[in-house]
Structure 1
């Protein structure tokens, strides 16, 4: 895939959609294209967060370690992003991400991520929106689990 094709893919990512094409080209150029085979981990829960990822193609499972083993809590697919919590909060990875099928990603370093958020406040707003949606989804699942446990 060439640089222009990557820019076209990045335009479809909600957090990047309002960034001008020239800046997306710079982002694509300064970021690393990383492919993963089925079953391969992008990152492991507890590892340091040095980058975030944008999924360009494929599907990945979001897995959380529990006392009884890993459980899947979400799936990520084309145009989704992940790893932003570890980068933003400077905390270890909150989940393990594993490719369910061959996966193509754009790995954005912490420095590049901060530069992009600083230059494009709309990107920060879109990230906040997505994080808020994720919190609401988690709260909904917790409410359902609590209701089922009480029944």
Structure 2
């Protein structure tokens, strides 16, 4: 794919929405493309995460293992979805397993590349920080709603 295609894809990712093409070019230029066949796992739950993946083509089923050994389907995601965004800024474990539902392609964004963008464009760091905080606040709010069910 062309560099401009990767920039267009990154602009679809909510975390990067509104960031101009010149800044996204740095990520697109340094990112790696990876193709997966239907049924192939992109990553497994519990594995250390050193990067995020933007879905370029195809779709992925996200699953999580249960205590009884069964597997729960969390979601199915497609083009423009960013998987494991926190891995671009911190050491975390994968929270689910991502499996290609069809022949698919992703862009791998590693932590050093993402940090370089934040260092070179401090104004982007402010935007990204705000979006990540918002995402975390929504997640905490959802968890608090669930906690009420277990009281």
Same fold (TM over 0.5): yes
Query: Does residue 42 of structure 2 align to residue 37 of structure 1?
Result: no
Deviation at 1:89, TM superposition (A): 3.9
Query: Does residue 130 of structure 2 align to residue 129 of structure 1?
Result: no
* Cα gap change, 1:77 to 1:137, in 2 (>3 Å): farther
Q: Distance in 1 between matches of 2:129 and 2:31?
A: 18
Instruction: Map residues 2-151 of structure 1 onto 2, 5 A cutoff.
Output: 2-68=2-68, 69-118=70-119, 119=121, 120=124, 121-137=126-142, 142=146, 146=149
Deviation at 1:117, TM superposition (A): 4.0
Structure 1 residue ranges without an equivalent (≥5): none
* Cα gap change, 1:116 to 1:124, in 2 (>3 Å): farther
Q: What is the RMSD of the two structures over their aligned residues, measured on CA atoms?
A: 2.4
Deviation at 1:111, TM superposition (A): 1.0
Q: What SS is found at the alignment partner of 2:48?
A: coil
Deviation at 1:143, TM superposition (A): 6.8
- How many residue pairs were aligned? 146
* Cα gap change, 1:90 to 1:32, in 2 (>3 Å): same
Q: Return the TM-score normalized by structure 1.
A: 0.80
Deviation at 1:20, TM superposition (A): 1.9
Which one is further off, 86-95 or 38-47?
86-95
Q: Distance in 2 between matches of 1:38 and 1:135?
A: 33
* Cα gap change, 1:14 to 1:86, in 2 (>3 Å): closer
Structure 2 residue ranges without an equivalent (≥5): none
